[in-house]
């Protein structure tokens, strides 16, 4: 038996015998000739079977094929520029139905996203979905390569925690033997632990969990968080510099490998941003947005979604950038471990990164002085005794450090201009979805 060939490799092969495996996309069962479009993980191919006495068995099999059935076929590869699908086709000599599908499919092209998510394994057969996860693979690999080439250490932090890393309001509680554990909202405390451990620079790409009952296009209860933490920084600008260089590496890899496919599938041109990204203090950003006719409802709060869209539009108009760092957030809306401005404790050395009008990341310089850290925790209504294991990190020496956390699905959603992270998450989890 000839070794299976991926469809994407057929164009480079000479005419002759081939074996291809995949699933049935469409069947055209005509009186004199039959056509089958076969897909595999790499592309689509036209199979052809002229009807005659010698091909009667193959013809009967094709006539009874249902879309979605998995086949292994043998035949003769022929290059023919008249064939619209890749300029090649395979004239069948054998066909083996290895996994027959039920004829009636439960979803269609116009099915709602919720219906498609109910049958996600079928929805993922769409070429656009295949491309989404190839893009994600390339993007993640490029990030890891950038870090590893610069001597970062990859860590894997636990997702079961004894106490909160952020706010208890967004914690999932789980039974843990005779007690209670919590699903990690982020690897924040543990990636910081690597700093007094002397690791210097660390990263992680892993799940995180938020018990947030939000039903927006950007929220999920389980998501993949991209995190990094670095020692010996002079301020949060060092974190931003690392963050933007990392993203340039990821987007460059995606554009080089998938740029043309992305344009064909989604009508989107991948743009590799210039550095440095624009940096605008939050208070100034709110004034800019107000001048554009939109006032963020609460002056003492974070930028809301409409404010993010407005500042992104301004940055695109003024700087031609899809990215903008909003900096210098008020300490009242930032966690206790964010370092505050020297001489102005009302502001923090922190930022949010906006991409195409949506926040994708939060980063900051961390407070590393134990006395200041304990005081800031008390000001937030936290009991230092409950933070004992975390505060211990700072009692035995820790360098100045900072880092960020970034949502993978948000980046991919915005990169490909998709309407929801549900379209770019392999298996989405939200307040009303735990299956499949």
DSSP class of residue 288 equals: H
Q: Tens of pLDDT along 163-206?
A: 766 666 689 999 999 999 999 999 999 999 999 999 999 999 99
Residue 367, annotated ligand binder? no
239, 402 in Cβ contact below 8 A? yes
Its pTM stands at 0.95
Residue 408, annotated ligand binder? yes
Mean pLDDT across the stretch 114-143? 97
Residue 397, annotated ligand binder? no
CA distance from start to end of the chain? 37
For each of the domains in the chain, give its residue range(s) and CATH number, in order of start.
7-99 (2.40.50.140), 120-423 (3.30.930.10)
Residue 210, annotated ligand binder? yes
Q: Tens of pLDDT along 366-405?
A: 999 999 999 999 999 999 988 888 999 999 999 999 999 9
Q: Give the pLDDT score at 386.
A: 85
User: What distances in angstroms separate CA 106 from CA 63, 86, 111, 123, 347, one per listed residue?
Assistant: 21, 29, 9, 10, 53
414 has pLDDT over 90: yes
Strand order in the sheet with 173-176: 160-161, 179-183, 173-176
Q: Which residues of 305-330 are buried (b: 16+ CB within 10 A; e: fewer)?
A: eebbbbbbebbbeeeebbbbbbbbbb
Residue 13, annotated ligand binder? no
Residue 362, annotated ligand binder? yes
Separation of alpha carbons 108 and 105, rounded Å: 8
Residue 405, annotated ligand binder? no
294 has pLDDT over 90: yes
Separation of alpha carbons 392 and 385, rounded Å: 11
The structure tokens listed for 66 are 């249902």
Residue 410, annotated ligand binder? yes
Residue 183, annotated ligand binder? no
Separation of alpha carbons 125 and 127, rounded Å: 6
């Amino acid at each position: 038996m000839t070794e299976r060939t991926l469809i994407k490799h057929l164009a480079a092969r000479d005419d002759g015998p081939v074996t291809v495996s995949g699933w049935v996309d469409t069947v055209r069962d005509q009186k004199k000739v039959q056509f089958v479009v076969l897909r595999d993980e790499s592309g689509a191919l036209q199979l052809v079977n002229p009807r005659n006495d010698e091909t009667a068995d193959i013809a009967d099999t094709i006539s009874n094929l249902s879309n979605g059935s998995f086949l292994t076929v043998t035949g003769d590869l022929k290059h023919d520029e008249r064939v619209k699908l890749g300029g090649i086709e395979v004239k069948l000599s054998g066909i083996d139905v290895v996994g027959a599908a039920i004829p009636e499919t439960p979803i269609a092209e116009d099915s709602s996203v919720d219906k498609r998510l109910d049958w996600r394994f079928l929805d993922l057969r769409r070429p656009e979905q295949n491309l989404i996860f190839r893009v994600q693979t390339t993007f993640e690999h490029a990030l890891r390569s950038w870090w590893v080439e610069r001597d970062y250490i990859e860590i894997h932090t636990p997702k079961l925690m004894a106490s909160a890393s952020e706010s208890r309001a967004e914690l999932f509680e789980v039974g843990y033997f005779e007690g209670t554990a919590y699903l990690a909202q982020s690897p924040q405390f543990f990636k910081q632990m690597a700093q007094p451990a002397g690791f210097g620079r660390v990263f992680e790409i892993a799940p995180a969990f938020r018990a947030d009952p939000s039903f927006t296009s950007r929220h999920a209860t389980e998501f993949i968080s991209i995190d990094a933490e670095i020692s010996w920084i002079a301020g949060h600008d060092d974190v931003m510099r690392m963050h933007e260089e990392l993203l340039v590496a990821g987007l460059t890899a995606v554009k080089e490998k998938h740029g043309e496919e992305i344009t064909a599938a989604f009508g989107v041109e991948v743009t590799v941003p210039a550095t440095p990204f624009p940096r605008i203090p939050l208070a100034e950003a709110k004034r800019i947005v107000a001048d554009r006719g939109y006032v963020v409802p609460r002056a003492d709060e974070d930028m809301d979604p409409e404010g993010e869209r407005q500042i992104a539009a301004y940055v695109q108009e003024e700087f031609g950038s899809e990215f903008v760092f909003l900096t210098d957030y008020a300490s009242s809306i930032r966690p206790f471990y964010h370092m505050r401005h020297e001489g102005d404790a009302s502001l923090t050395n922190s930022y949010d990164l906006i991409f195409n009008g949506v926040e994708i990341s939060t980063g900051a310089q961390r407070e590393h002085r134990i006395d200041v850290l304990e005081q800031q925790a008390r000001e937030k209504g936290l009991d230092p005794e409950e933070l004992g294991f975390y505060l211990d990190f700072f009692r035995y020496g820790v360098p100045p450090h900072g880092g960020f956390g970034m949502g993978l699905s948000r980046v991919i959603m915005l990169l490909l201009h998709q309407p929801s992270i549900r379209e770019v998450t392999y298996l989405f989890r939200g307040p009303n979805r735990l299956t499949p």
